[in-house]
Amino acid sequence: MNLGVALDLARLDPGDASAVARLAEAGGLDLVAIAAAPGAQLDPWSAAVWVAGATTRVAVGVAQGEARPGSPADADVANPAVVAKARESLDALAPGRVLVGPDAWRTAPADATYEELEALAVDDRPVVVPVASVDDVRALVARVPARTPSRRSAAALARRVPGIAYDEVPASLVEHAIEPGDPGYRGVRSTYLRGGAPGLVLRPGTPDEVADALAFARRHRDVPLGIRSAGHGISGRSTNHGGIVIDLRRMNRIEVLDEERRLVRVGPGATWKQVANALDPYGWAIGSGDYGGVGVGGLATAGGIGLLSRNQGLTIDRVRAVELVLADGSQVRASAQENPELFWAVRGAGANFGVATAFELEAAPVGLVGWAQLAVVVPDLAQALVAYGRIAAEAPRDTTMFLMTGGARPGQAVLQLYGIVDDPDPDVVIERLTPFAEIGRLVQQRVVLTPYAGALASAADVGSDGHQGSGEPVSRSGLVDAVTPQLAADTARLLHSGEVYFFQLRHMGGAIRDVPADATAFAHRDALFSVAAMGSDDDALDAVWEPLRRHFDGLYLSFESSTDPRRLAEAFPEPTLARLRDLKRRYDPDGLLVDNFPLTLEEVSR
Amino acid sequence: MTDYGHNLLFGTFVTPSAQQAQQVVELAVTADRAGLDLVTFQDHPYQPSFLDTATLLAFAAARTQRVHVVPNVANLPLRPPAVLARAAASIDVLSGGRFELGLGAGAFWDGVAAMGGRRLTPGQAVDALREGIEIIRDVWDTDERGGVHRRGEYYTVDGARRGPRPAHDIGIWVGAYKPRMLGVVGALADGWLPSLGYLPRGIDSLPELNARIDDAAQAEGRDPRAVRRLLNVMPVDFGSSTRGLLQGPAKVWAEQIAQVALEHGITGWIVGGDDAAQAERFGQEVAPAARELVAAERARQA
């Protein structure tokens, strides 16, 4: 039985509030609720927060504030948005200890005997006894058997979601699992760009534990399942509402396997910043994307268009072997020699085939590089885009420059150009950058010679506070082999629409093109630019994005948030798609892994 | 020379970061242990990365023993005055008289509007603040019988419940810079709580702004000494060389504080920085030294 007290604010001496709450906690009770009391002068919210501050473990019950509609002119009606924020804040201050009532508990008569209290405890809801003094609490504690508080408070248990068998979480995962009522929940619920409220976050630390997690997920096919490495995904739904997340951040080991061959073994939960830092002492690097906070698992199974790609190929092109747990729980290794078909598929469509538990990657020697961040103001956006496209197309492989902008005003746009010249000679760096800097009026420039790790260093280290994304990212992707005047004109219209707050052209080509289209599940080897735009509304973004589609030959799934099945054929053109579908039938016939560009098994008419 | 004769108060200005909620509370506990008088938090409800300041104040008060907790300053447009008054009085009662009410007329109207608040012009906001302060004092006044009734241009209360009665006279300290706001401070407030960075000429602005408050107080028949003068100062540091106000050795801090206290009547000193070590030195080295200097000078003049 969960047992607590309800503070009677009308009779309580406010000076005794701390003592009453602390005694309840020390007495092993589970909950101190603030009872609604019409005659009380004390503000119930302040009293509840006070009780939470005065104690450290016990759950605190707050009354569901009545949502009285009021105008800002009514001096006696709280602002509803501020009330909601107050509740979130108490959650942050007293994680997992807040229980919102009054239906969340049952109130017993003040003089109820232990037997009467037990009779009221017919479900999980705690039973509370009204108290107004230290003596009342003492009397209650004296008349019930000695109590040992349970690991999860009544408040924590009350936040469990339906449809998840919490009591059946495999023993290997119990210690690190996080539920909505747990203190660490805030740090694992959301991702970088997406707000979420999963019902259970499993955090395996070994392949066996990943298998246990997948077995648990197989018993919960009615709730969503997300697989998370570092939580930067746009297409990958690594959080959800009410479902299960398998969070791999604990599997973040980085070790050098073979110095001769520069072979490195990396866990899926490491970030690329960590990888870059670990390889830096060896004078090596593995090209990733353009942001150090991105996790290894998501990127190394999808593609990886980054600042070294034109010299090194995509990140998946550096993968020599992958170890993964398949949907059925079996653990396999895939490489050119072992399970070669699976190896082909996990490099580009990996999220469909298993949970990667380790990658073996071949690093390349990379010395000092020129890391450039330029900003130019351009009067004619379309013209500037064409110029960028031409200069980028003509650039040698050592030069990778991405273009980013956040929309445009009539007559003027600011373009951020950033990237790497993979050459330690400052004169070469300047020579390569000069044409880019001349695209417009240079208003900002920062160029440094740095190890590759320096270019990824700016990413914030995400600790136990996790990501705090909210809402849903809205993003579109396309691939092109040139920035034609028509594409530039359509892009300028897109950027003037006001619907796009982030737009990016990623410079591809070079070593990406050296790999045959059928060598991996990423088939778009001829693309020279990845085009991505982010907006805040799906329909509004589609409306302004549609005119660009005629220019595209495929898309890069990691920048596409749409779940429209028609996008599948753009991510995976035939014959890649047919081959992937065959493999999906073999490796995940029940469709357990569908959180990131799920391979539907049937053709969808376009 | 304007010394309004108040005792000196020392405090910190702690960023109410939601992501670092535990550290924020720890900084309040540090201020308490360091013997500081005040721990204060800014109040911008529309700032998603911040905690709700009213909630944080109650929580921090429960975790501390002696320090007074203060919103610096409460956002009146999003905290209707009767609601604010009741929360303030409740925390004061629960903490045994350790709440002071820093109060502002509001700014960042886009943020206010985004939270469903009302967009006012700066001029309207001053008038709303004046009405707000009156309602707050009415709610705290439990000697009067019946509910609070006021029909103002910006706020209406129709029979709002009075109380709780605060455990001590809660000071209403208003953040103000412009003439009309300074007029409200002089006429109605118990304190003036500006930030140094917003004073047009820094410390040199103090004589003019103090004089406006004094004039407004006298026009209402109040003694200018009824208005305590406080100041938020940031950034600050304990460097080895003196580079500005509260940027130098602890001894220099104490001398600067004593000088500004005696010349301009600033007797509340609140420093930002979210730095526990700094807060400890502020409470343990600077505060006693500054108090000693001010006491000595006041004794000499008496």
Residues 6+ apart with CB under 8 A from A19: A134
Which of A34, A93, A189, A190 should be substituted to probe chain B, the one whose Cβ sees the most B Cβ atoms within 10 Å?
A93
What 8-state DSSP symbol labels residue B118? -
Q: Is A166 exposed, middle or buried (0-12, 13-18, 19+ CB in 10 A)?
A: middle
Q: From B49, which residue of chain A is nearest by alpha-carbon distance?
A: A468
Does the pLDDT of residue A61 top 80, yes or no? yes
- A522 vs A533: CA distance, rounded Å: 21
Q: What is the pLDDT of residue A69?
A: 67
- Closest approach of chain B CAs to the CA of A47, in angstroms? 7
Does the pLDDT of residue B71 top 50, yes or no? yes
- B229 vs B231: CA distance, rounded Å: 7
A415 membership: H or E segment, kind and range: strand A413-421
| Residues in A touching B51 (Cβ below 8 Å) | 89, 92-93
- Closest approach of chain A CAs to the CA of B77, in angstroms? 8
Q: What is the pLDDT of residue A605?
A: 44
Neighbouring CB atoms inside 10 A of A594's CB total 19
Radius of gyration in angstroms for the set of CA atoms belonging to chain B, rounded to a whole number: 19
Partner-chain residue, chosen from B19, B52, B96, that has the shortest CB–CB distance to A85: B52
A→B contacts (Cβ < 8 Å), by residue, are 14-15, 17-18, 41-43, 45-47, 49-54, 70, 72-82, 85-86, 88-90, 92-94, 465, 468, 470
- Closest approach of chain A CAs to the CA of B293, in angstroms? 37
- B197 vs B234: CA distance, rounded Å: 7
Q: Which of A170-184, A188-202, A390-404, B224-238 has the lowest mean pLDDT?
A: A170-184
Return the percent helix, strand and coil in chain B, to nearest 5: 45, 20, 35
Distance of CA A270 to the CA centre of its chain: 14
- Assign A212 to helix, strand or coil: helix
Contact call for A78 and B80, based on CB within 8 A: yes
| CATH at residue B120 | 3.20.20.30
| Residues in B touching A14 (Cβ below 8 Å) | 90, 93-94, 164
| Residues in B touching A79 (Cβ below 8 Å) | 45, 78-80, 115-117
- A481 vs B202: CA distance, rounded Å: 58
**Averaged pLDDT of chain B:** 96
- A355 vs A370: CA distance, rounded Å: 36
Contact of B141 with chain A, judged by CB distance below 8 Å, is answered with no
Partner-chain residue, chosen from B56, B91, B157, that has the shortest CB–CB distance to A75: B157
Q: From B114, which residue of chain A is nearest by alpha-carbon distance?
A: A81
Q: From A462, which residue of chain B is nearest by alpha-carbon distance?
A: B19
Q: From B23, which residue of chain A is nearest by alpha-carbon distance?
A: A93
Does the pLDDT of residue A217 top 80, yes or no? yes
B150 membership: H or E segment, kind and range: strand B148-151
Q: From B135, which residue of chain A is nearest by alpha-carbon distance?
A: A75
Interface of B with A in 10-39 (CB under 8 A): 18-22, 25
Contact call for B18 and A89, based on CB within 8 A: yes
Which of B52, B76, B84, B131 should be substituted to probe chain A, the one whose Cβ sees the most A Cβ atoms within 10 Å?
B52
Contact call for A53 and B20, based on CB within 8 A: no
Decide: A561 and A573 in contact? Cβ < 8 Å: no
Count the domains in chain B. 1
pLDDT in tens, A227-284: 999 999 999 999 999 999 999 999 999 999 999 999 999 999 999 999 999 999 999 9
Contact call for B94 and A72, based on CB within 8 A: no
Does the pLDDT of residue A299 top 70, yes or no? yes
Interface of B with A in 48-107 (CB under 8 A): 48-49, 51-52, 54-56, 58-63, 77-83, 86-87, 89-91, 93-96
Does the pLDDT of residue A303 top 90, yes or no? yes
- A320 vs A313: CA distance, rounded Å: 13
pLDDT in tens, A452-475: 999 999 888 887 778 989 999 999
- B22 vs A464: CA distance, rounded Å: 12
Beta bridge partners of A535: A474, A500
- Closest approach of chain B CAs to the CA of A502, in angstroms? 21
Partner-chain residue, chosen from A17, A41, A465, that has the shortest CB–CB distance to B163: A41
Q: What is the pLDDT of residue A283?
A: 96
Residue B1 lies in a domain: no
Contact of B168 with chain A, judged by CB distance below 8 Å, is answered with no
Q: What is the pLDDT of residue A232?
A: 96
Q: What is the pLDDT of residue A601?
A: 67
Does the pLDDT of residue A335 top 50, yes or no? yes
- Residue A326's nearest CA partner among A336, A341, A315, A337 is A341
| Residues in A touching B81 (Cβ below 8 Å) | 75
Q: What is the pLDDT of residue A606?
A: 40
Contact call for A50 and B20, based on CB within 8 A: no
Partner-chain residue, chosen from B25, B54, B62, that has the shortest CB–CB distance to A54: B62
Mean per-residue pLDDT for A515-525?
97
- Closest approach of chain A CAs to the CA of B98, in angstroms? 12
- B167 vs B92: CA distance, rounded Å: 6
**Averaged pLDDT of chain A:** 93
| Residues in B touching A46 (Cβ below 8 Å) | 54, 58, 86-87, 90-91, 94
Neighbouring CB atoms inside 10 A of A410's CB total 7
Q: From A51, which residue of chain B is nearest by alpha-carbon distance?
A: B62
- Residue A532's nearest CA partner among A402, A400, A438, A339 is A402
Contact call for A86 and B132, based on CB within 8 A: no
Does the pLDDT of residue A37 top 80, yes or no? no
- Residue A47's nearest CA partner among B164, B213, B25, B113 is B164
Residues 6+ apart with CB under 8 A from A68: A77
pLDDT in tens, A572-604: 999 999 999 999 999 999 999 999 999 986 664
Residue ranges in A353-450 assigned as alpha helix (H): 381-394, 426-437
- Assign A261 to helix, strand or coil: coil
The per-residue DSSP string of A271-324 comes to: BHHHHHHHHGGGTEE----S-TTSBHHHHHHH----TTHHHH--GGGGEEEEEE
Q: Which of A100-109, A307-316, A447-456, B273-282 has the lowest mean pLDDT?
A: A100-109
pTM of the model: 0.68
* Alpha-carbon distances, residue A59 vs A55, A101, A179, A188, A277 (angstroms): 9, 12, 15, 21, 42
Does the pLDDT of residue B1 top 70, yes or no? no
Does the pLDDT of residue A410 top 90, yes or no? no
Q: What is the 3-state secondary structure (H, E, C) of A338-360?
A: CCHHHHHHHHHHHHHCCEEEEEE
Contact of B161 with chain A, judged by CB distance below 8 Å, is answered with yes
| Structural domain boundaries, residue B142 | 9-301
pLDDT in tens, B108-164: 999 999 999 999 999 999 999 999 999 999 999 999 989 999 999 999 999 999 999
Quote the crossing angle between the two packed helices B53-63 and B81-94, to the nearest 10°: 10
- A54 vs A52: CA distance, rounded Å: 6
Does the pLDDT of residue A124 top 80, yes or no? no
Q: From B54, which residue of chain A is nearest by alpha-carbon distance?
A: A86
Q: What is the pLDDT of residue A139?
A: 95
Contact of B124 with chain A, judged by CB distance below 8 Å, is answered with no
Q: What is the pLDDT of residue B200?
A: 94
Contact of B149 with chain A, judged by CB distance below 8 Å, is answered with no
Partner-chain residue, chosen from A14, A18, A93, that has the shortest CB–CB distance to B21: A93
ipTM topping 0.95: yes
Mean per-residue pLDDT for A377-393?
96
| Residues in A touching B61 (Cβ below 8 Å) | 50, 53
Phi, psi (degrees; rounded to nearest 5) at A433: -80, -30
Contact call for A73 and B164, based on CB within 8 A: no
Strand duo A254-258 + A263-266: pairing = antiparallel
Q: Between chain A and chain B, how many beta carbons pairs sit less than 8 Å apart?
A: 143
Contact call for B94 and A47, based on CB within 8 A: yes
- A507 vs B272: CA distance, rounded Å: 44
Residue B248 lies in a domain: yes
Residue B2 lies in a domain: no
| Residues in A touching B80 (Cβ below 8 Å) | 70, 72, 74-79
Contact call for B115 and A79, based on CB within 8 A: yes
Contact call for B161 and A41, based on CB within 8 A: yes
| Residues in B touching A465 (Cβ below 8 Å) | 19-20
Does the pLDDT of residue A94 top 50, yes or no? yes
Q: From B139, which residue of chain A is nearest by alpha-carbon distance?
A: A76
Confidence of residue A195 (pLDDT cuts 50, 70, 90): very high
